[in-house]
């Protein structure tokens, strides 16, 4: 890992972190390297672990949700790097068990 860090091999570092089970850190590294698709695939595969890492989850919110689902967007842009079905899958897979009843009512249909 020292060699990877010393030579600034960010994508390789992300892959190593993923193999070590450090999924949140790997997602952040992929996002730092502008490899959004890899970050999203890893987040979908290990959603429980990634949502426990607040920095990784905040990075996902900022990179995917804020960019593509903000109030100013009107439909899914054709130029989007990430297909809408992956964002839909991510939204549906985020565990809501840790939300309070009040928060669940806020984010779910009545």
pLDDT digits (tens, 9 = 90+) for 41-53: 999 999 888 888 8
Domains of the chain, residue spans: 2-107
Q: Is the pTM of this model over 0.85?
A: no
8 A C-beta contact, residue 26 and residue 12 = no
pLDDT digits (tens, 9 = 90+) for 10-49: 678 888 889 899 999 999 989 988 888 899 999 999 988 8
Crossing angle, helix 23-32 and helix 36-45, to 10 degrees? 170
End-to-end CA distance of the chain: 49
Give 110's DSSP letter: -
Q: Report pLDDT for 101.
A: 64
Of residues 56 and 68, more confidently modeled: 56
């Amino acid at each position: 890992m020292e060699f990877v860090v010393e030579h600034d091999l960010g994508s390789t570092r992300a892959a190593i972190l993923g193999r070590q089970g450090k999924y949140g850190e790997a997602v952040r590294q992929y996002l730092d390297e502008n490899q959004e698709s890899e970050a999203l695939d890893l987040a979908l595969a290990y959603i429980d672990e990634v949502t426990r890492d607040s920095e990784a989850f905040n990075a996902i919110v900022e990179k995917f949700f804020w960019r593509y689902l903000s109030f100013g967007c009107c439909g899914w842009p054709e130029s989007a790097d990430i297909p809408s079905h992956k964002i839909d899958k991510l939204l549906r897979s985020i565990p809501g068990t840790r939300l309070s009843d009040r928060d669940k009512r806020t984010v779910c249909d009545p």
